[in-house]
């Protein structure tokens, strides 16, 4: 499995006083699985112990438990020290509650996609 990372800085234009209306910074991690599918995680600087799974946006509990996804989660944890995961729900446009990494269990996640 190949991992690469890229810093991001998603911000509004600066206000005259140098402040921002919004600003999100962190690192996006791209894991290329052996079959060529890419998994994308995002870790925000202000919440460094939580990763969000941002792609794919369509997933099943079975896919989350597959050996290659479990390996990606293990590597992400080793590389970054993240301890929890949020999953993006395409239908609601929101993230799931935080799930501890060692206990990532698809049965505990909201799968109403």
What is the domain extent for residue 46? 2-7+25-105
Is 73 contained in some domain? yes
Assigned domain for 95 exists: yes
For residues 53 and 93, what is the distance between their CA atoms, to the nearest angstrom? 13
pTM, entire model: 0.79
Q: What is the pLDDT of residue 66?
A: 86
Query: Is 15 a domain residue?
Result: no
C-alpha–C-alpha distance, residues 12 and 19, integer Å: 9
Please give the average per-residue pLDDT across 4-11, as a whole number: 96
46 within a domain of the structure (yes/no) = yes
83 Cα distance to chain centroid: 12
**Does some domain include residue 89?**
yes
* 96 part of a folded domain: yes
* In-domain check, residue 74: yes
User: 37 lies in a domain?
Assistant: yes
- Please give the tally of structural domains in the chain: 1
Nearest to 106 by CA among 65, 71, 70: 65
Question: Confidence band (pLDDT; 50, 70, 90) for 93?
Answer: confident
As a whole number of angstroms, the distance between CA 71 and CA 7 comes to 22
**Residues shown for the chain:** 113
What mean pLDDT comes out for the span 37-51?
94
The mean pLDDT of 79-102, rounded to a whole number, is 80
Mean pLDDT of 37-44: 93
């Amino acid at each position: 499995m190949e991992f690469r990372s890229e810093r991001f800085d998603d911000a509004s234009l600066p206000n005259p006083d140098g402040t921002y209306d919004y600003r999100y910074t962190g690192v996006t991690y791209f894991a290329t699985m052996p079959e060529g599918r890419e998994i994308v995680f995002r870790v925000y600087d202000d919440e460094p112990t939580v990763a969000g799974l941002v792609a794919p946006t369509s997933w099943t509990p079975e896919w989350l438990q597959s050996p290659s996804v479990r390996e990606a989660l293990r590597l992400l944890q080793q590389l970054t020290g993240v301890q929890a995961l949020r999953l993006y729900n395409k239908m609601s446009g929101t993230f799931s509650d935080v799930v501890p990494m060692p206990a990532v269990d698809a049965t505990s996640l909201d799968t109403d996609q």
